[in-house]
Amino acid sequence: MTGLDTLLADIETLVCCESPSEDHASVARSAEVVAAIGRRLLGVEPEFVRTDGCTHVRWRFGSGPARVLLLGHHDTVWPLGSLTTHPFSVQDGVLRGPGCFDMKAGVVMALHAAAALEDRAGLTILVTGDEEIGSPRSRPLIEEEARGCAATFVLEASGDGGALKCRRKGVSLYRIEITGRAAHAGLEPEKGINAGIEVAHQILAVAGLADGERGTTVVPTALSAGTTTNTVPAAAGVAVDVRAWDAAEQERVDRAVRSLQPVVAGARIRIEGGINRPPLEASASSGLFELAGKLAADLGLEPLTSASVGGASDGNFTGGLGVPTLDGLGAVGGGAHAEAEHVLVAELPRRTALLTALTKTVLGGGND
């Protein structure tokens, strides 16, 4: 097989091992597949790192300190059985399958790029299993591996048109829980404390914290209230998704959410969650993006473009440590988390070659 044929075969193998984040058994099976691909390509056994039941895969090369971290995840948002309705396929230069773009193709690209290196000393590869749910179990591991590195290269899917993701919003996640008191909605509603009405007040309050001029979004999402149609709701809750370009805005919203007060007499509020990921500042990516542009030109690739995006990744954690971080180095395509998820086959070897060149250059001290 050609290099591209092998790359495609490995992507198919990984995509066909379904791995929804919350299913630890499925994620463990996917980790075994990642390990098998890497073992064949790299000739080295990986470490399986398990945190609270979630399985991550790690390779460390050389006896000295790590210099480059290749970072990805093998969990997806797709539930078990998705391959039945969205089977793996390659047709007319387009690869499809659940999780192919976000980001199983990127994981395979990282392993192939590392395999192309003559000297891997100073390289760490970390493939985590819980990124799609906010990395609650892998964040300490990610930060441990990134700390002290000269660069982190994140194999998340590219932006539109293949853009590298050089700036990401920070993310805060909250759950506002309301406690009221049940009563018969027809006979004696006045004896109840309506948690549904209270959560409505709180939804309006948090939505008002958004700041369009600063790009801060505060979005109430999953909502629940009540039990039956003839009962005053005794409990209600709403999830809130916050995105902001800078830490000061995250902190402003955090203070405001934590200071929410009930409006309905007798209702009680409990706030869960908080700041999840810091912003990935443009300054964390600028030097590596410039280097990537030079290497792309040397490889005869099209000029690179950059993007600022609202979605977060584990690159937010590494950038937040002050580690130079370049994101979106994975597959070129689109449709993440959706039926249209796809990867452009022609870009796979080009992006893999770019990743190899970047890793080799930084391992050799080329960006100091």
> Is residue 368 over pLDDT 80?
no
pLDDT at 366 over 90: no
Using an 8 Å Cβ cutoff, are 244 and 310 in contact? no
Whole-model pTM?
0.91
The one catalytic residue in 10, 12, 102, 131 is 131
Question: Do the two domains 3-168+279-363 and 170-277 of this chain adopt the same fold?
Answer: no
Q: Where are the domains of the chain?
A: 3-168+279-363, 170-277
**Could you report the per-residue pLDDT of 313-354, keeping only the tens digit for each?**
999 999 999 999 999 999 999 999 999 999 999 999 999 999
The confidence score (pLDDT) of residue 1 equals 55
Catalytic residue among 10, 75, 249, 341: 75
Element (H, E) at 355: helix 347-363
CA nearest neighbour of 359 among 125, 42, 110, 68: 68
Say whether pLDDT at 197 is over 60: yes
Average pLDDT, the chain: 97
Taking the C-alpha atoms of residue 168 and residue 211, their distance in angstroms, rounded to an integer, is 17
Fold of 170-277: Alpha-Beta Plaits (3.30.70)
Q: Is 327 among the catalytic positions?
A: no
Top-level class of domain 3-168+279-363: alpha beta
pLDDT digits (tens, 9 = 90+) for 107-124: 999 999 999 999 999 999
Q: Across-strand partners of 102?
A: none
75 is catalytic: yes
Query: What are the structure tokens assigned to 118, written together?
Result: 């003559």
Residue 186: strand pairing partners: none
252, pLDDT greater than 80: yes
In the structure, what pLDDT confidence band is assigned to residue 192 with cuts at 50, 70 and 90?
very high
**Strand 54-60 to 123-128 pairing:** antiparallel
